[in-house]
Amino acid sequence: MQIHRIGYYWLDTWIFASVIQLATQDFCSRYLNRTNDPCGRQYDQMTQAARSVSANIAEGSSRHSTSKETEMKLTDVARASLSELANDYLNWMMKHECLPWSVKSEEHQKVTAIQLDKPTYKDDVQHLSSSHILQQKHKFDEWLHSNDSMIEANCILILCNRLTMMISKQITNQLSNFREEGGFTEGLTAERLAYRTEQSVKEDAPMCPKCGKPMVKRIAKKGTNSGKEFWSCTAYPECNGAKNID
């Protein structure tokens, strides 16, 4: 199956979310057990929240060409799931009478300083993107493989906070693009208006007496002229210019 260079495989947010998902699965497998999580609810909650982040970023990106509004909503769901996951790690630390690292601490600054590499794959995308994600995750092995749940929780919490800022910036960019380009519905409206204008030219339609744009034939749906054709401005509903057909 050929996967083209459009979609979430190249998104830094999706790559970062995949790193957090893998780290969360490892964390829950090592530290949640029948004693501290007898029903497995916390395990399910944390792993599902981590999955929701990457899954909603991916689904939102896949809807980019058809509905920018849906893309923004799904990306925002990813951000909400990430906040939920971050709170679970924060609760884990406080439950054990520990505090999250100060932003001024050496460990916090070391984790924060690590940057992800840009993806360079051009083909064989699923294979190479999976390899890329694992390589990015290994950059944090010093903390994620410490066998100390407090250190690992702190590291993942920092990653969650970083990704939250990245997603917020992504949503801001999506909103800006939506304002400039519109969404799928707006695109359909533009196509429909272009078609109406083309048809008007072919039919030698008159110009609108109000705005001067071409007119198109419509059929009245109500009133005394219901069922009869009339000339209507192609800019309707912005312009309600109309003329009778002789």
DSSP letters for the chain: ----S-SGGG-HHHHHHHHHHHHHHHHHHHH--TTT-TTSHHHHHHHHHHHHHHHHHHHHHHTTTT-HHHHHHHHHHHHHHHHHHHHHHHHHHHHTT--PPPTTSHHHHHHHH--PPPP---SSHHHHHHHHHHHHHHTTHHHHTSS-HHHHHHHHHHHHHHHHHHHHHHHHHHHHHHHHH--HHHHHHHHHHHHHHHHHHHTTPPBPTTT--BEEEEE--SSTTTT-EEEEETTTTT---EEE--
Select the more confidently predicted residue: 117 or 213: 117
Grade residue 103 by pLDDT with cuts at 50, 70 and 90: very high
Taking the alpha carbons of 194, 196, 199, 201 in that order, is the dihedral positive or negative? negative
In this structure, how many other beta carbons lie within 10 angstroms of the beta carbon of residue 34?
Answer: 8
Tell me: pLDDT of 102 over 60: yes
For the chain, what is the mean pLDDT? 86
Grade residue 3 by pLDDT with cuts at 50, 70 and 90: very low
Name the percent of the chain lying above pLDDT 70.
Answer: 86
Strand-pair partners of 242: 232
C-alpha closest to that of 109 among 162, 48, 50, 51:
162
Give per-residue pLDDT as tens, 163-173.
999 999 998 88
Select the more confidently predicted residue: 210 or 106: 106
Tell me what pLDDT residue 161 has.
97
Tell me what pLDDT residue 179 has.
67
Grade residue 97 by pLDDT with cuts at 50, 70 and 90: very high
Give per-residue pLDDT as tens, 9-31.
999 999 999 999 999 999 999 99
Mean pLDDT of 222-234: 81
Tell me what pLDDT residue 91 has.
96
The CA dihedral of 130, 133, 138, 143, to the nearest 10 degrees, is -130
Select the more confidently predicted residue: 212 or 119: 119
Q: Which residue has the tokens 């929701």?
A: 52
Grade residue 67 by pLDDT with cuts at 50, 70 and 90: confident
Residue 13 tokens read as 């947010």
Tell me: pLDDT of 183 over 90: no
Residue 171 tokens read as 């949503």
Name the percent of the chain lying above pLDDT 90.
Answer: 58
